[in-house]
Structure 1
Amino acid sequence: MFAHVAQAQTPLPEAALNTFYDQLNAYRTARYEPLPDLEALQLPSTFSGADLRALHLTERHIVRVDLVYTAFRLNPAFNQRQLNLSRIRNLAAGLPGLLTDESITWTLVEQTGCASPTACQPFFHGFVVYVTRHATAATSRADLDSLTRKLRLLEKKRPKSAKKAPGKKVACNLPFTRLTNRQMARNLRGAYRCPERPAQIVKFELTVDEHGATRSVRVLPPAKPLCTAELEEALRQSIVFASGFPINRRQFPFIVRGAVRLPMGPWQVVGQPDLAFTSFSLPDSVARLYRVFLKKKNPQHKHDYCEARITRAGELLADTAAAEEMPLPPDANVVTRVMQRHPEWSKEVVVTDVTGSMFPYTYDLLAWLQLSALQDEKTFVFFNDGNDQPDKDKRVGKTGGLYQVRTDRYETIRDKLIETMKAGGGGDAPENDAEALLYARQLTAADSTDLILIADNYTFPRDAKLLKNTTAHVRIILCGVRDYINPRYLALARKHGFSLHTIEGDIEDLSKLLEGEIITIQGQQYQVTGDGFKLVQKT
């Protein structure tokens, strides 16, 4: 993709550019924050050819482009749309094929957190380009080495009996905040200035890293209107942790959930503070090392507290430097969570992408299989997008790299998945998901058999048109949903009657929606368009 930066390009027709622009996702936020777990490259609004060459697109491919600007303007007649169109036209001229690449997700982001030229000056203006490196034989070998190390660790700690050993007790504390709850609530009252403050309890969720830095803030959909972006920014400013989650003299990332009472006021109502934390949770990778129990305050403890015991896996990890945990995305256990949520999915055929971008979820699938013990034979189809053939030689419907196994033995499934990974790592971003689904459908004896597709949220299949006449019902588990669901998957589900499943919940019956409808899905608002869906508000 984009093997070179062109010096001169034929301008895109104005009508085509306007049509492209009208379908873009768009949302407002106080101040733009790049996604923490994707490689982000910033192109200022005054980018040059040298800036484009610095993207090194011979070594990596684009998965998402955000055009970021501020809402403030000195001249009321200023036309932001025309400026945005001009910037997109300039970028497309330097990167041929950019606007026609359906694997790339585009988003307009309007920042609302400044109200003067001086205040807006430090805000970023321009393109944020998210990239991922091309899969190569070397990266595939590294992924395989890491996967086998992690699987060995997982297999060693697999309990030999149903009863879990209690484990050695280790030190554990709830994460410390830099201020008291009362002080944070006072700061929140000062930072949150919204004219619409109907009385209600609003829930929120913060993702915090191992150093105590807040990575994301999300206000859950409230019952009544409020200034969501402003509240999220106020929470980000007011709630500051001094550390990660301390366990056994180590610090771990965590998620904290809480609630805000609106309208906020002085702490005069006993038992009804403006701000309260309701729960803490840890990544599954930490739960495999330690059994952590959150306890409510009691006569011996004035505050909520925690207890932790080290597992056999934790002991092995402490003694084995080579078994270091690799960094995993926040939803790395999405396969396990969805499968546990749906124990009735016992006969479905599982189709999964095992290319480089899916490595964390490949491991999650095997971890779930190892711990769930299959009762009956199950069919799996693994695909690697063409057995490492060059991207230019891949043909829709004939890409290949499909491997299948039917068994009830974990070891057989594991070996077939590793065989598929050894045969190819993927190459470019789009994969041959539809080809794999149709292949899986041919393997099933009964037309009623449903298919489960484990797919990358930001990498839409290059061959989705192959599903034009399919009658199969497909349940798509979306991996890597970092801030919103790829509207192309929503459109695919609506068109064919598929269902979508994320770590947060299930999305069904999209085919019942009418064009023009605006719906809220997991806190984000999408509009049904003639071509599918587009994000119209990120809350």
Structure 2
Amino acid sequence: MMRVFIGLLLPLLLLSGGIARAQSPVSETELVAFYDQLNAYQTPQYRPLPALEQLRLPATFSGADLNALHLGERQIVRIDLVYTAYRLNPSFSQRQLNLSRIRNLAGLTPGLLHDETITWTLVEQTGCNSPAECQPYFHGFVVYVAPRYSAATSRADLDSLTRKLAAFAKTRPAAKKGRKPSGKKVACNLPASRYSIRQMARSVHRSYRCSLDAPQIVRFKMTVDEHGATQAVELLPTSQPICAPELTEALRQSIVFASGFPIDRGRFPFLVKGEVRLPLGSLQLLGRPDLAITGFALPDSVARRYRLTLRKKDKRDYCEARLTKAGELLAAADTAAENMPLPPDAGVVAQVLRRHPEWDKEVVVTDVTGSMFPYTYDLLTWLQLSALEDEKTFVFFNDGNDQPDKDKRSGKTGGLYHVKTDSYEAIKSKLVEAMKAGGGGDAPENDAEALLYARQLTSDSTDLILIADNYTFPRDTKLLKNTTAHVKIILCGVQDYINPRYLALARRHGFSLHTIEGDIQDLSKLVEGETITIQGQQYQVTRDGFKLVSKT
């Protein structure tokens, strides 16, 4: 259960290696530059993240507040400065007040603003319109902290993981090669649209009249309910103006499904992905429609229950489903996860891997430190349900085999373990070995070192899948400066927005990002100053990367 602390920051900050090393005071120029690049969003009333432990420092904090709390072995991962939009005096400057508050905090905690592992966010509350209404709203700093994991603290996680995997295996034994697939094969068809692709493309053409300077392909995704009604349409990032509201509405009106996703005798909500080529009509001379449906995805619970397979065969999509007795798989997953504190996106690894069955040759690189425990469980249960047809390479990293944080050196941190096999038991054994050897220590990990290590184990043409923690950003990404690797990053722990540092990393190197909601690609096409919407949040491309500028 999350606990709320009000008070001391100083002992926590002194435990952070990055802060302890940076002791120079912050100049006014540095402070303004720091402030101008902060993430910022509005919300009716601030609601803290449920998955992280937090402490609150009121706007009126004093030296006494800073001497009231003892945190022990914890570390900062994020700081939110929270205030209200209401102004009693029209000439009041919230910016100047925010700068003053950050200046005071930084003055009492040397090195705070220099610690690149901490994510800062400005949160403006818009739900009150008078002093009386705003009085109960929180004003001040909300500081999110995480424990410092070690091999000792990982042992408890390992015990829990072992018990839950054993419980899961009893109800769903791992599949073996050559064994007939378990469960009864049931009817499974892709959802039928009311119109043909060509008719839908013509409808979009009639509804969308935006003038464009250059041809481009715009990818989109739609969520559809069990009755076939479209719930939402989202355009994926694009580097050029496309009259987004008009295109979104044209797609909503034109792409219509007759029902939900049909499996057995039921109908289920689903996600449909597609792309449209602009300007519309450019392919008419070739006799091809400007619109294409590129894939479907179903909720995690449905995919588990029916052992669902969505694949391409002879350039066509097809669906296969097998029903085990009385929802065996779904019940097994729920039973195994009982009493386990899981974040909202605990199934993100399995969801993304099921969404991309074509990722069958990639090397999987995964963080197995303490913060990633729920996602480690998710990976292993997915492997139990998905018998590997060919050998696959896995690289597990624990950020240095429990060596002291002060001794870690970029590129030479260690704690890397790999296995190439088609055996679930061999994969689990190697993962457990990596977890036993170290819990991670401080928050930032050695992801880049692990990626370069994985690259040495396979051919340069093989893509890498990195399973990473959205809350914390790797300390060693400078190692990737000259890399030509193609990396697909599955982000774990995305609850309110994607860490802008990962967006910047993907843009810089041409990587793709994948969350439980969808896929984020082609960020390298974006130009500085451009504002884009990603999974409902608006980000601006800056000289140094990205910053959040609006949140729904």
TM-score of the pair, normalised by structure 2: 0.70
- Contact kept, 8 Å, 1:351 with 1:440, in 2: the verdict is yes
Which residue does the alignment assign to 2:181?
162
Which residue does the alignment assign to 2:56?
42
Which residue does the alignment assign to 2:129?
115
* Residues 1:489 and 2:502 are matched in the alignment: yes
TM-superposed deviation, 1:287: 9.2
- Contact kept, 8 Å, 1:457 with 1:481, in 2: the verdict is yes
Per-residue CA shift, 1:41-97, capped at 9, x if unaligned? 111001133433555454111111110000111111111111101111111222222
Q: Distance in 2 between matches of 1:341 and 1:419?
A: 29
Q: Distance in 1 between matches of 2:333 and 2:425?
A: 22
Q: Distance in 2 between matches of 1:54 and 1:138?
A: 28
Q: Distance in 2 between matches of 1:439 and 1:409?
A: 22
The 3 A distance-change label for structure 1 pair 365 and 451 is same
The one of 3, 25, 32 aligned to 2:14: 3
Q: What does 1:126-137 correspond to in 2, within 5 Å?
A: 126-137=140-151
Q: Distance in 2 between matches of 1:339 and 1:317?
A: 20
Alignment-mate amino acid for residue 311 of structure 1 = E
Per-residue CA shift, 1:472-529, capped at 9, x if unaligned? 1111000000110000000000000111011111111100000000000010000000
Which residue does the alignment assign to 2:6?
none
Which residue does the alignment assign to 1:478?
491
Per-residue CA shift, 1:288-323, capped at 9, x if unaligned? 7999xxxxxxxxxxxxxxxx94638858998xxx98
Q: Distance in 1 between matches of 2:491 and 2:337?
A: 28
The one of 472, 482, 496 aligned to 1:469: 482
Alignment-mate amino acid for residue 29 of structure 1 = T
The 3 A distance-change label for structure 1 pair 282 and 53 is farther
Which residue does the alignment assign to 1:536?
549
Q: Distance in 2 between matches of 1:500 and 1:55?
A: 38
* Residues 1:373 and 2:387 are matched in the alignment: yes
Which residue does the alignment assign to 1:311?
328
Q: Distance in 1 between matches of 2:77 and 2:379?
A: 24
Which residue does the alignment assign to 1:459?
472
TM-superposed deviation, 1:115: 1.0
What SS is found at the alignment partner of 1:16?
helix
The 3 A distance-change label for structure 1 pair 366 and 164 is same
Which residue does the alignment assign to 1:25?
39
Which residue does the alignment assign to 1:442?
456
Per-residue CA shift, 1:315-366, capped at 9, x if unaligned? 8998xxx984302111111110111111111111111000000000011111
Using the aligned pairs only, state the percent identity.
73
Q: Distance in 2 between matches of 1:317 and 1:373?
A: 21
Which residue does the alignment assign to 1:508?
521
TM-superposed deviation, 1:99: 1.1
The 3 A distance-change label for structure 1 pair 148 and 288 is farther
Which residue does the alignment assign to 2:425?
411
The 3 A distance-change label for structure 1 pair 400 and 10 is closer
Per-residue CA shift, 1:88-126, capped at 9, x if unaligned? 111122222221111111100001111111111111000
- Contact kept, 8 Å, 1:10 with 1:93, in 2: the verdict is no
Q: Distance in 1 between matches of 2:529 and 2:549?
A: 12
TM-superposed deviation, 1:399: 0.5
The 3 A distance-change label for structure 1 pair 26 and 341 is same
Per-residue CA shift, 1:211-243, capped at 9, x if unaligned? xxxxxxx99869859xxxxxxxxxxxxxxxxxx
Alignment-mate amino acid for residue 2 of structure 1 = L
What SS is found at the alignment partner of 2:114?
coil
Per-residue CA shift, 1:216-274, capped at 9, x if unaligned? xx99869859xxxxxxxxxxxxxxxxxxxxxxxxxxxxx999xxxxxxxxxxxxxxxxx
* Residues 1:69 and 2:83 are matched in the alignment: yes
Q: Distance in 2 between matches of 1:455 and 1:435?
A: 13
TM-superposed deviation, 1:3: 2.4
* Stretches of structure 2 lacking an aligned partner (at least 5 in a row): 1-11, 186-221, 225-230, 236-243, 247-268, 272-297, 308-324
TM-superposed deviation, 1:4: 6.4
Q: Distance in 2 between matches of 1:516 and 1:75?
A: 32
What SS is found at the alignment partner of 2:112?
coil
Per-residue CA shift, 1:355-386, capped at 9, x if unaligned? 00000001111111111111111111100000
Alignment-mate amino acid for residue 3 of structure 1 = L
* Stretches of structure 1 lacking an aligned partner (at least 5 in a row): 167-202, 206-217, 226-254, 258-280, 292-307
Alignment-mate amino acid for residue 425 of structure 1 = G
Q: Distance in 1 between matches of 2:95 and 2:475?
A: 30
What SS is found at the alignment partner of 2:14?
coil
* Residues 1:527 and 2:544 are matched in the alignment: no
What SS is found at the alignment partner of 2:113?
coil
Which residue does the alignment assign to 1:334?
348
What SS is found at the alignment partner of 1:365?
helix
- Contact kept, 8 Å, 2:401 with 2:414, in 1: the verdict is yes
* Residues 1:517 and 2:534 are matched in the alignment: no
Q: Distance in 1 between matches of 2:419 and 2:496?
A: 34
Q: Distance in 2 between matches of 1:98 and 1:407?
A: 45
What SS is found at the alignment partner of 1:343?
coil
Q: Distance in 2 between matches of 1:350 and 1:158?
A: 24
Which residue does the alignment assign to 1:91?
105
Q: Distance in 1 between matches of 2:232 and 2:55?
A: 27
Alignment-mate amino acid for residue 500 of structure 1 = L
Q: Distance in 1 between matches of 2:88 and 2:345?
A: 42
TM-score of the pair, normalised by structure 1: 0.71
Alignment-mate amino acid for residue 134 of structure 1 = R
Alignment-mate amino acid for residue 508 of structure 1 = Q
The 3 A distance-change label for structure 1 pair 94 and 283 is farther
TM-superposed deviation, 1:416: 0.2
- Contact kept, 8 Å, 1:41 with 1:55, in 2: the verdict is no
What SS is found at the alignment partner of 2:79?
strand
The 3 A distance-change label for structure 1 pair 29 and 221 is farther
- Contact kept, 8 Å, 1:220 with 1:523, in 2: the verdict is no
Alignment-mate amino acid for residue 328 of structure 2 = T
What SS is found at the alignment partner of 1:484?
coil
Which residue does the alignment assign to 2:281?
none
- Contact kept, 8 Å, 2:507 with 2:523, in 1: the verdict is yes
Q: What does 1:3-402 correspond to in 2, within 5 Å?
A: 3=14, 11-54=25-68, 56-159=70-173, 162-164=181-183, 284=301, 309=326, 311=328, 314=331, 324-402=338-416
What SS is found at the alignment partner of 1:61?
strand
Q: Distance in 2 between matches of 1:310 and 1:113?
A: 43
TM-superposed deviation, 1:430: 0.2
TM-superposed deviation, 1:158: 1.1
- Contact kept, 8 Å, 2:300 with 2:351, in 1: the verdict is no
- Contact kept, 8 Å, 1:290 with 1:309, in 2: the verdict is no
- Contact kept, 8 Å, 1:62 with 1:129, in 2: the verdict is yes
Q: Distance in 1 between matches of 2:299 and 2:58?
A: 37
What SS is found at the alignment partner of 1:99?
helix
Q: Distance in 2 between matches of 1:316 and 1:396?
A: 38
Alignment-mate amino acid for residue 344 of structure 2 = P
Q: Distance in 2 between matches of 1:417 and 1:388?
A: 15
